[in-house]
């Protein structure tokens, strides 16, 4: 998040080389390095060894500094300095951060954990995902990229955020996963995020502030489960992170195609009013089917209710958009839908790129 008053709603303001590989942590079999502490009741409380997690994670976290044209207090033109966070995703010196951290920047620099300040260029930024990939110039050969989790975090589990709140330097904060699948409305519709973006945020009560955006949210093993992105300015302990699977999808798209290819179903949809579908508290109803689009070819019709995509439950339109983009262009999707009084039925659907 840049140190600008306009970005208080966000966690931050504002080849021939081998293709990097997204590092994915192996499945966990038991909690990592727990610390047992005796409770007053005589019971034992087990908490993660956050000191070890911070020591292991911090070398992979960087400061992202952007220079943005702006105006001073007297209306004069000047260059404003914004500070956000990022994480190393390849030993080649590539850095993942939020797109809003570097938007409109005329110059971008990255400061490593060793305090070495290096010039950087933007490889690709996608406002609809609020993710950006940077490349550091003159990166040393000792960089250690983060590892991404390949599992869905569980509400109530411990997490730690690492970043640069208010430009204070490497700072760690601890909390728990508070919820999943939050969308733009849940965040209070912050102006720094595109309302038409693909959002399914992780909610956490770990303290995230201006400057944290783009930094990692890690689990007790130190693997990245999310990218700190935004906070609700009208509440406390309401911070949000982009899930790791979407970050991995973004990286794989950019490394393979040089950009993110956006998938579409060729339908319009709405969050159906409560009670529209008996037995479900929430539902998504198809309101439009494009001519010659993937939805029409698969047999979707106006009025159908979408219940699940590839066996993952769908409750809101944001879930449909997120799962479609996560599986990507050309993916074979199985949509479970209900039509009228007929029993639920499966529809095979092939997603297609946006025009």
Strand duo 158-163 + 107-111: pairing: unpaired
Residue given tokens 């005589």 in the structure block: 42
CA distance 5 to 166: 12
327 labelled catalytic = no
CA–CA separation, 147 vs 158, rounded Å? 17
Sign of CA dihedral 199, 203, 204, 209: positive
Q: Rounded distance, CA 173 to CA 30, Å? A: 23
Annotated catalytic residue, options 100, 124, 249, 262: 100
Integer CA distances (angstroms), 352 to 30, 99, 329, in order:
40, 24, 5
Angstrom distance (rounded) from CA 301 to CA 277: 16
Residue in 265, 263, 259, 209 with CA at minimum distance from that of residue 237: 209
Does the annotation count 130 as an active-site position? yes
Give the E-state strand segments of 247-316 in sequence order: 263-264, 267-271, 284-289, 305-309, 312-313
Q: Taking the CB of residue 262, how many other CB atoms lie within 10 A of it?
A: 20
Q: Annotated catalytic residue: which of 130, 183, 219, 319?
A: 130
Q: Is 249 part of the annotated catalytic residue set?
A: no
Neighbours of 46 (CB within 10 A): 9
Query: Which of 60, 103, 213, 351 does the annotation list as catalytic?
Result: 213
Question: Would you name the residues annotated as active-site residues?
Answer: 100, 130, 213
């Amino acid at each position: 998040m840049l140190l600008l008053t306009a970005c208080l709603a966000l966690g931050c303001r504002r080849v021939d080389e081998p293709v990097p590989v997204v590092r994915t942590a192996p499945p966990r079999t038991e909690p990592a390095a727990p610390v047992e502490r005796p409770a007053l009741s005589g019971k034992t409380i087990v908490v993660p060894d956050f000191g070890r997690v911070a020591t292991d994670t911090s070398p992979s976290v960087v400061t992202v500094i952007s220079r943005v044209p702006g105006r001073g207090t007297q209306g004069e033109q000047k260059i404003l300095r914004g500070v956000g966070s990022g994480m190393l995703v390849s030993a080649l010196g590539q850095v993942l951060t939020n797109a809003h951290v570097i938007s409109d920047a005329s110059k971008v620099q990255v400061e490593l954990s060793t305090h070495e300040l290096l010039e950087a260029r933007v490889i690709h930024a996608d406002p609809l995902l609020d993710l950006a990939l940077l490349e550091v110039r003159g990166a040393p050969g000792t960089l250690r990229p983060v590892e991404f989790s390949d599992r869905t975090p569980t509400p109530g589990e411990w997490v730690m955020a690492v970043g640069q709140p208010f430009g204070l330097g490497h700072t760690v904060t601890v909390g728990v996963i508070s919820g999943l699948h939050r969308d733009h409305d849940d965040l209070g519709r912050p102006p720094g995020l595109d309302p038409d973006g693909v959002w399914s945020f992780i909610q956490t009560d770990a303290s995230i502030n201006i400057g944290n955006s783009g930094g990692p949210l890690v689990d007790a093993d130190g693997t990245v489960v999310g990218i700190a992105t935004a906070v609700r300015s009208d509440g406390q302990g309401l911070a949000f992170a982009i899930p790791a699977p979407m970050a991995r999808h973004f990286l794989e798209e950019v490394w393979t195609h040089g950009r993110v290819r956006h998938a579409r179903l060729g339908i319009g949809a709405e969050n159906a009013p409560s009670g529209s579908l008996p037995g479900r508290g929430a539902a998504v109803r198809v309101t439009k089917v494009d001519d010659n689009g993937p939805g029409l070819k698969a047999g979707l019709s106006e009025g159908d209710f979408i219940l699940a995509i590839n066996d993952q439950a769908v409750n809101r339109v944001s879930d449909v958009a997120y799962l479609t983009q996560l599986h990507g262009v050309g993916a074979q999707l199985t949509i479970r839908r209900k039509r009228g009084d007929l029993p639920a039925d499966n529809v095979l659907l092939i997603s297609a790129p946006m025009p």
